Structure 1
């Protein structure tokens, strides 16, 4: 049972709109094919009423209404009425699974609480509602007051409750305790359907879920991306693949949709998935080390059963200082770019240089890099940038101090400008006018682009159009830093001019 739309929404800062809940419910039921979904808590808001009504109407149309559930409370039938008005046919009643919760939160005796539950279940059945029952704080109940738990179960196991749902509400259990407590429950109540609902406070939600299954649990509660109260719940994707690969369990989940639902929930919740989150993280199918890419060419030496195609994804090879020729060759092949060994070597050297400046170079950057390395090979030995410093400070104009070498002669200058690059160009203009007696080309257009994706660490491609006494020159530079990219484009332009002047002479 997926509880993203109910328990997942208890993640701090997460609140789904009704239409968002409908879109997620559609994907969970129809595309991903989970067995059941818990979509809301009863009587929370009018928005929840609208969402549940929309989901139930949709589920009825695809003959899946029995798979939609709502959390209800022991409140004299109000939750039951609310669910019925929304068209829902299954309510998961929240009862107290520990003596402490019963006596201190409800301030009732166990017998009083049992009678309240009986009354609620009878009313639900009269309304044609199926009842499942949560034993809230069950893990603490088994740890501190097992007699109370057994008293509750003895009184309720034969009153028509379909499933008893056993939560580790505070996430306190470890797998050994989970096995022990489940075996005790099943020994006393062998014909009862038990679900397990894990929380991740000790990072044991997945482990406890597996322990519950191995001990006889017939249902597991999960959420997409592990959303949930505090540290969250057991992530659906992790539970699914471990059950299948490690224990040969069969489920109805369509694994190739796990990434799609993860991205949808990430978008609607605003909670980003960690890049290294198993199965669904951005980086989990990315090889960084070149030796791994090389091994993949040699009988998939660095692959396991978690192949990306299984989850609707593909293997990627990171580009950076650790990637090596094998990674770069894989990316060039993916893009359909064919380079000679010498060209590949030059691209590799360029990527290594860039890798020292930024954490990662993406495949989207690669065409820019290839173009930068191979298409703009104007010699840069006639006009060289020896060193420069650009600065900016609040309340002061940006400044630049530069040292250049032109045809073997060194020159220095400084200037201020409306921006760092403007100050840099003004310094160059000063050198060309004072020391060389030459007119510096006029900048006509300045365009900055980054590869698709919009990351702040992306490579910057700066394309500058110049007018040199009526002749139009267009040059570009590529770097992780925008000013550096513009400077590279500028020096390519100056070297083109020097080469043409030399030819005229």
Structure 2
């Protein structure tokens, strides 16, 4: 049986940008657009709303200029409005070729927001569609509040669809604007429509207010949807939209015999992390597919099972998404978790020593301390009083200065293999100045430092300004990515402690 092709339309740059506090500058929008089309390989992207601001116009112009040069212009879409052609003029100036026209999909919205009759609304829509066709712009139509329209005014919805199918449209877009649908309702409503209009291309646009967006997307696929609207990390207004990574994994695992998509799974995680960095919206650690902890086994019995025919694996193998399985170290770890981490470090302990190290990690876990793979050599040396780990690089001393009107500066004295080296540098902040001084030292020895890719600081909830501060820094080399932590009452000092661990790792 021939598989049904489903289009994936990413709306991170339009609907996702409506996440509270998020605004992507022009350069970031262009970078994201390139990533979505070239690396993730989505079918289409919705990048902006017409007539929002001059900055938005410049961002769209940059994207359309690039898309025109690279053959992507038909895959770049704009949200437009029934405004007598003003949005069409905006699109022409911006170089865009596909509009997603926002119309009213419920009688409630039409009556109380626009205060118009269906006939008036339809007439104005036709005017805009005709203008677009004459201008060489393709049209898709959104039925805003469609889900409530099906709840409360289905006669109007079908009257509207009967009218729309007479127009020169590419697609009709059916949004659950307020995230109110249940899975059974999604299947029922979508089926009614696809059965009545079997040749029309319908997209489903899900919101996640009840955490049902992925389930609703599944039901829309069963009911004949030909396109899905998703956002990276589920970004969007209120509780967000249906998340890209989860939906792609669901389709590839549960619909692989019936439908196909062209999105590249291996690019999901890197795309997700870039959007996290640009938006400033952190990915929950337990978010499926892309969360930091979703491929981390914590319980020792699970690590033991993984050693015995992968008893605790499912189809969501981390390698599919460019990731690796991890084994957490804490009070529930057990010997199997620790052995897994030791293997990665190339270390082996006898049973008696392994018991001692396991007990120490359990004690740290009881104190709510987080233990990483990179901490193991420290712990082994401490518990076994061995020479397995020796600090070859020590930050002997440093001076941090921060004065109003002057750039922060740092003087660092470092001991490397008993050689004492001192350097001074400035930076955008005290820690940046400290890192710049370190780079000078390393450069003088023909060495390079790992790249700092994430920096997080936290204090216990409810603490005061004198609280202990934990700095968690993620580093990356060509071979691996790893995390170090530092603890101190001073934020910069805690970061320096984390950095000294990095230097020795």
TM over 0.5, shorter chain:
yes
Residues 481 and 64 of structure 1: is their aligned pair in 2 closer, same or farther, counting only changes over 3 Å? closer
For the residue of structure 2 that corresponds to 1:92, the secondary structure is: strand
Equivalent position of 2:308 in the other structure: 298
**Native 8 Å contact 2:458 2:471 kept in 1:** no
Q: Is the 8 A contact 1:318 1:360 kept in 2?
A: no
**Which residue pairs with 1:264 in the alignment?**
274
Give the distance between the partners of 1:77 and 1:460, measured in 2 at CA: 53
Query: Considering only CA atoms, is the larger Rg found in Structure 1 or Structure 2?
Result: 1
Q: 1:338 aligns with which of 348, 365, 389?
A: 348
Match of 1:495 in 2: none
Alignment of 1:78-477 (within 5 A): 78-248=86-256, 249-375=259-385, 456=458
Name 1:68's counterpart in structure 2. 76
Task: Please tell me whether the aligned partners of residues 200 and 232 of structure 1 are also in contact (alpha carbons under 8 angstroms).
Answer: yes
Change (3 A) 1:272 1:460: closer
Q: CA deviation at 1:479?
A: 11
Contact 1:365–1:459 at 8 Å: present in 2 too? no
Aligned to 1:28: 36
Aligned to 1:414: none
Q: If the length of structure 1 is used for normalisation, what is the TM-score?
A: 0.75
- The answer to whether the 8 Å contact 2:456/2:471 transfers is no
Note the C-alpha offset of 1:8: 0.4
Alpha-carbon contact 2:147-2:175 (below 8 Å) kept: yes
Structure 2 vs 1, CA of residues 481 and 34 (structure 1 numbering), >3 Å: closer, same or farther? closer
Q: Is the 8 A contact 2:42 2:263 kept in 1?
A: yes
Distance 2:471 2:173 in 1: 54
Q: Which runs of 5+ in 2 are unaligned?
A: 1-8, 388-453, 460-468, 473-483, 490-505
TM-score by length of 2: 0.75
Aligned residue for 1:142, secondary structure, equals helix
Alignment partners' CA distance in 2, 1:479 and 1:310 = 29
User: For structure 1, which segment, 51-60 or 301-310, has the greater mean C-alpha deviation from structure 2 after superposition?
Assistant: 51-60
**1:52: which partner in 2?**
60
Change (3 A) 1:481 1:267: closer
Aligned mates of 1:186, 1:460 — CA distance in 2:
53
Aligned partner of 2:493 in structure 1 is none
Contact 2:380 2:386 in 1 (8 A): no
Structure 1 runs of 4+ with >6 Å offset: 457-461, 478-481
Measure the CA separation in 2 of the matches of 1:176 and 1:49. 40
What's the CA shift string for 1:351-379, capped at 9, x where partnerless?
Answer: 112111125312232232233334568xx
Report how far residue 317 of structure 1 moved.
0.2
Hey, what does 1:9 align to over in structure 2? 17
Let me know the Cα RMSD of the aligned residues. 2.3
SS of residue paired to 2:142: strand
* Kept in 2: contact 1:77–1:123 (CA 8 A): yes
Q: Do the aligned partners of 2:455 and 2:471 also contact (CA within 8 Å) in 1?
A: no
Q: Choose between structure 1 and 2 for higher RCO, CA contacts under 8 A separated by at least 6 residues.
A: 2
Query: For structure 1, which segment, 258-267 or 364-373, has the greater mean C-alpha deviation from structure 2 after superposition?
Result: 364-373
1:13-52 Cα deviation digits (max 9, x unpaired): 1111111111111111010101111001111011111111
Question: 1:340: how far off?
Answer: 3.2
Count of residues in correspondence between the two structures: 395
d(CA) in 2 for partners of 1:106 and 1:43? 19
